[in-house]
Chains A and B, each alone.
Chain A
Amino acid sequence: MQKVVIIGATSAIAEATARRYAARGAHLFLIARNSERLNDIAQDLRVRGAAQVGHAVLDVADLTAHARVVDDLWGQLGHVDVALIAHGTLPDQSACEASVEVALHEFTVNGTSTIALLTALAARFEPQGSGTIAVISSVAGDRGRQSNYLYGAAKAAVSTFASGLRQRLFKVGVNVLTVKPGFVDTPMTRNFKKGALWAKPDAIAKGIVRATDRGRSVVYLPWFWQPIMLIIKHVPEFVFKRIKL
């Protein structure tokens, strides 16, 4: 039976992923900041077949609380097969431009907190010598765009950090998976007009579970974002700075 930990477990993508693990009979442990919603999700996952579902409350912006939560995890579970970090916000870019405080807080939630969690998890996974640490980054981290470069910069930090961590943990048999979703129809993007490029959370969840099972390093979800981002990354800066994206 797999033991799966999810941080940011109330996220739509995370919940869809948890349902897939529940249907397999996994033992789940959910972490998020809203305890009422955690309760509802835990109940649902039990009905869907999870062997056991535990949960704990954490506001990831409270960096000092991370160590205790991660220690508790191993205290309760003894061993973790998969840890998925899924929390995030979509900052209002213009608010980040107007206020350094807002910008740094958003960077903390989307970048620093994730790096802190990856560090704490790595310290536990390394001696364990097995398992997967999966982290949801974003295609937005592949290149800064004027419409959301604070978010992009935080996700870029996460992707780069995960790449280094992957090299480090590969030696001991722990996989680090970087997930880069494109546009996903979730509460985070509720104000956007949805078009053909948009995916449902369950499609992303399916990709996350599969990539975890197969020990992949980096996945773009859905797959077509890989060629799209390849092109976007290679547009020369003198052209890129002139276009609206």
Chain B
Amino acid sequence: MRNDTRPLLSVRNLRTSFFQDEGTTKAVDGASFDVFPGKTLGIVGESGCGKSVTAQSILRIVDRPGRIVDGEIVLTRADGSEIDLVKLKANSREIRSVRGGDIGLIFQEPMTSFSPVHTVGEQIIEAVLLHSEVGKKEARLRGIEALRSVGIPKPERRIDEYSFELSGGLRQRAMIAVALSCNPRLLIADEPTTALDVTTQAQILDLLRKIQQERGMAIMLITHNLGVVAEMADDVVVMYLGKVVEQGKVDDIFHDPKHPYTKALLQSIPSIDSTPRLKLPTISGSIPHPFNRPKGCPFHPRCVSAIAGRCDVEEPPLQAVGEGRKASCFLYP
């Protein structure tokens, strides 16, 4: 509790780009945010705004031709020391002990996140063997325990099955079990429920919450479902085209959004008291292609309150717009 004010993970000015023949995609373009121990940080944004790439950058597993070009990612380790993950070599021993050890990752696609030719058990046991000093037998027991803890029935049998033998919900649970098998202090969940049906979604979210309470783990929850964020998160980061456009406490963001993009996002979700069959407002236009991102504020072409001659020229900095919250918009000087 003493450390409550000190972030577990602090991302500063992160820039990750993909260098291709056709051009350079700035997938993440100067994102900054903090994740606090035991808390949940929600990251929201439209498809393609760089959420997954942010998560991959933190673990340093961005695929070629992508590369972190700038910024720092400071992780506070269990012993209180701080390391900048950006400075580590991509395949070094240190970063590998962080992957899976300090930070667990759940992926967007439970279908293809398991190897099709290895059993679920082989993949869990491998992680356990890698991060703790135990023998094969013990590792298997821990694997079964991990499967049990995520609510998989008959884990001693499931552990020898292949991922394609499991249902979607069970597969995502198994994925969580792999990520949790080494007791990470931060769990990055990249759209953990997108591929699942509504009931299963709720179960998985409940499970995540339960595990968080039991272990005091921090969660970085990536999603484009604002409902999920409202339900789960303590803090929220709104991303647009690789930039953080607004961040703050979940209540502040939902009740008093500042950035026009956040406002538009919130308007586009249905609520209990909206008129039935009325067309929901959508955000006009579409996300610009990453190769020709607009000059000035990246959102100005779609923004209803864009100031001509200002928003299309300058880029608004991310600055405080009230107690513990920030936004990048010229409407808030």
Q: Do A and B bind each other?
A: no
List chain A positions with a Cβ less than 8 A from chain B. Answer: none
